[in-house]
Structure 1
Amino acid sequence: MEQDKYISQHIDRLMLDANNYRFIDNKDYKRVADAEISDKRIQDRTYNLLVGKNEENISDLIVSFKANGILKLDPIQVRELPERSFLVVEGNRRTAALKYLYDQFKRGNDVGKLSESDFKKIEVLSISGESPVKHLITMGLHHISGKKKWSLINQSQLLHDLMYKYNLSEDEVYNSLGIGKVTLRKSLRALALIERYKASDYGDQFHSNMFAIFQEIVSNVKIKSWLVWNDSDMRPHSTINEERIFSWLSKDVYTEQNDDGSEQEIIKEPIITKRDEVRELANFIDEPKAIEEMEKARSITAGFALSDAVGETRLKNAMENMSKEVQMVFQFSEYMTDEEYQKVVKLKDKIERLLPNNRANLELLERKSNIYFNQLTSHFTIIKVKKYRKLQDIEIQKLSRVNIFAGGNNTGKTSVLELIYLFTRLNTIQSLIELEKFRGRFYQNLSPKWFDKSFVEDIDIEGIFNNKNCSLSIKKYETSENIEKSFYLSSIESEANVNGDTFQSNIHLFSNRDPQLYFDKSQYLCDATFSSPYRYDGDLLRKAHAKAVQEKYFDDIIGFIQQKMDASIEKIEMVSIENESRFMVSSSNHDYAIDLTKYGEGLQRVLEIALLMGYSKNGIMCIDELDSAIHKSLLIDFTEYIQLLAEKFNVQVFLSTHSKECIDAFVENNYPDDALTVFTLKKENNRIVCRYLEGNKLKSLVESINIDIR
């Protein structure tokens, strides 16, 4: 098989690619047959498209070549054409710049460090083979995955051709270009809707800057539902609504008769001109009166002002303002007079009337309303970690009811638990911030600057949950939206897909002001909790305690503690002391109840894990370093109790440990091992690998040879 090789060629033998994907959105672009590419007329037109008016498209390269000469860090790539010429596959802008400078050289103009020999012997990489797929992959690696990105519509067209013209699968495109399936599907959906727009009466109004708007339309859950969008055939099934939204994206041109009988053309600008306006539209897309007002005034703002979303927005703003002002009053409370104190008392009475009688139950109900699945027949069966911190291209299979991740320090055990918890949160960016806050040991507010610096690598996860395909992609980018860029840091996009439904969130970070968060709908896969000896979430524990009392299993937890840990304990209650909720323990050894924290960390950890197991009903629980603070004499009983609670509450458990005694305890307890899988994480050849051993097989090996899976 012929191999790729470096060759030297004269600049005149390098043919510019007239079908380069960067031209697709240019109004002067026309598809050129391969046999015509070398034609001088075609080459001149391609050169002019690449160079631009007054060489504006290659001015940076001209300056670089004149100052540095031709660098060999990133060679121009070509494939051979008939008659000893070569088509430039990658590096068309650089080639055009060199052609311009060669012309300047022949005219006697200054070309800096370049000499005649540079133009006569340009070292290029000749790509072997005739398959266009290879050439497309080469371009994709530079202009989709790499740093020299094309516009989004040009990227999407290349992805479309790879899949539908050359029949590559999603996995083949992903593996070749290293882009997530979420990004791939979103691009293809947007391109499909654009093609329908181009075929409509408004098609002549399309321009490439509209791509982000179409991408938002096919990503927004409410808009997709309103269009009755179908991912299988990539089109809306409501043609009426499709036509309507196309009209909102377009200028409205009509003629109007003047008083003197003459006619004049009236042009009204599009209603939707920015991506953000699609998100605003989603707030009232199902409110006919608001839509009617929007169309009448040709303004998103007019429709929004008439919608129910206004009340929600005003409430949100009022809550934010109230929070800030209360904090200000608190800081200067030493200056309060009696009169001002009485005003605070009256305000307190009003605020208390806003609170429901049973606030804890209401929060539980609200939390459950965001769960995607109404019924759960299974949990995670497989998770594919494409990218999460140091974990790359790891497939975790054979997941069962209880899953133990073992390994040495710095092998990614905690990272596995984090990514699983994050996966269940889908597009809820707040959960990502929460994880970064815990990881950075921030107990108050998290600095946007710190978050911006700490989130440096994209996240890409896929899996099967409840027998449905799911994915999560989180990436940092620089927004092209029309926002106030003062003190702007970066933007982060979270996009989740469950069974074909897409949920998206975006957040803009600023160094000196609150971030801007946008999302249409926030969903969870299921309820999920995270327990770690290094994290404490008092609010979550209060909710978990309220649920345990409400559903009458709190006494069972106390029973385990009495039987297996401390028989003197009579009861554990949550009480409010100076507006601070605390667990108080009544014991036959003391005349009065004492704070739970006065007991050992083991008792606190057992109570926390047991409460969170119940709170995670029909969901997921992640337990980091289970063996921490748990005495080895309790491990067998406690591991059995965890398995019992997991079955009782239908919870899938993921836990980490570096203790052989902890793993042995699961095997040696009396609970059946058929719902237990142990995974080991190890470093091999500078990467983390994951292997597993199912419970029953592990038990036989432990009993026969005392295996240490770590």
Structure 2
Amino acid sequence: MSSNRIKRHLDRLILDPNNYRFIDRPDYKLIAEEDLADTRIQQRTYNFLLGKNNSNINDLTSSFTTNGFLDIDQIQVKAVGDKYLVLEGNRRTATLKYLYDQFKEGKDVGKLTEADFKSINIVEIIDENPVQHLISMGLHHISGKKRWNAVNESQLVNDLIETYGKSETEVCDALGISMQKLRRSRRTLFLIKQYKISDFGDQFEANKFTIFETIIASPIMKTWIGWNDTDYEATNIINLEKLFSWISQTEEIDKDDDGVERSSLKEPIISQYRQIKELAEFVNDNQAVKRMEESRSITEGYSYSDAIGENRLKNALNSIKSEVNVAFNFSEHLTQDDYLEVERLKVKLDRLIPSSEASIVINDNQLSKYFTTITNHFESAFIHRYRKLEKVKIKKLSKVNIFAGGNNMGKTSLLETFYLLSQLNDLNAFLSLEKYRGKFQNDFLSKWISKNFINEIELEGIFNNVGIGLTIQKELTEDNIEKSGYLSSLSSEATIGKGAILESSIHLYSNKEAELRFSKSQILCPATFTSPFRSNINLLKKAHAFAVKEGFIDEVIAFIKEHLDNSIEKIEMIDEDGESRFMVSSSSIGDKPIDITKYGEGLQRVFEIALLMGYSQNGIVCIDELDSAIHKSLLVQFTKFIQQTAQKFNVQVFLSTHSKECIDAFVKNDYHNNEITAYALVNDEDNIKCKYIEGSRLEQLVETINFDIR
């Protein structure tokens, strides 16, 4: 293969519509050579390369306008009639064409001049060797820095073997990749081909590649689908179709009482490659798989599998037995720090044995409210210290307040701040937060709270036009109490305005229940806290009873019917075998209601949040990770429902999210955007700051520059 360096006008260069970067697109079709220069085909290829809002070429646009067009990476072409087809450098060529259009319209193109477009250095490939061309592209886009997505990489590798007869070893040597990567890549590609010819094939997107790759990497999943490494084919068609349905959106057909068919779309059960690893642990447990399919939740299937629970418990107990024997045999080497660690482990082991001693009993009875009427909720807050937050100001609070930021930025702690302030000196509120933080389901141990309460809590706020203060600290009491087994005390002091001071304390013991003491305890307003990582069935019972009493339950069910499942008729609290459960009656399941947990987590989350919105009447509700488990297509309607419900019941909403779609939804629902305030949590010299953006400004930014406050 020979080449020749020449100069040609940009208009004589045509883009390659058969470039490997396009083959993963659903609308990709192989273009014959005589049609390569067709105007419509060239325009479509040009649009593909530019991407939405020119996102695919922003880096090159900036580089070319700043530095000019530097002839570092060659643009390789071959003659096609009187034009030149770009073999390598399609993205750079598309960028130049875009900037040339800008230049002809009189727009600023930086250092580029007309000569840069009329006389471009290119390398004409003569007597093109297609194999060498593919290898050259592979070195750029598989082994090099300018990576294609995995589907396109796999297709190029497979074409070298299948179309051009290269051996696996030759391809590995030519591209500098390992045999393991090559074979995994090809197996994944062939599994994708089986998916593409299935009933769900039209749903394939490049971002699903890692799901198929994880399936191929799992020996259990390969066995389950009957994968043949010789023929590169899955032979267990029944299991394969099941798997394909789990990773795809499915359509379910139901009939009403009149025999009229109604279809509904169900979101994929599996949408992330990590879930394949979880699936592999119970895919051979038929009951767990059935539970997953009924609930459309892989978490349900995973937690339902007896095999997983039993194996983990047995492995844990065997490990404890083995390691305890080792520690005992070499106990003469224990240091003081080791003894402390043994004591911590002993506490955990003690908790495996059911016991009612040394626990904290949380009283969640509603206390009297300090204010008889509430004209304004929280206007601002100042966190002197709470967990990792220090000296954080939150100003200009409104009806709906959104806190956005990355993981471990303190979003949950901010919500807890308002919850604690609203409950004044009621230590039960603080203890309930700690219980869920510590993931305790039943007994909440005094030793745990005594050891894990480290820093004093100091909070301020303005509520109902009055200044509020709250401090919670750990101390050794000077009260005349029984000191046997005494650990420490937590004391709380709340101030309202310039006069009222409310105090309470709780004494913690290692050998008996904690003792709560107070002369008077009040709250500012009702408050609820909901999180996808916490569960409070007693609170939901009360919220459901309120919704039924006030008739609000009808609005909740109406929303669920309209936006999630139109077959649902009612959701009731039913006492079954001594346990209260939410049961769903649906026209699609017959006369017998089923437990709400058999439905998806999204429906359960919507139901819980909706109930708590009503139950928080004249108070506040804190919603952690609002978008968790709720599909993005529902967010606009659900955020509007939240705002409407907040208006109806006079509720101030505090919520956290790290989803841009969730933030956009509040703006796009076009419901009282002036009542939305958003805050971005950012690191500023190792301190977390809370940056304020008011609703109308947020709306403008989202609409004009696709602003993301995360």
Q: TM-score, normalised by structure 2?
A: 0.48
Q: TM-score, normalised by structure 1?
A: 0.48
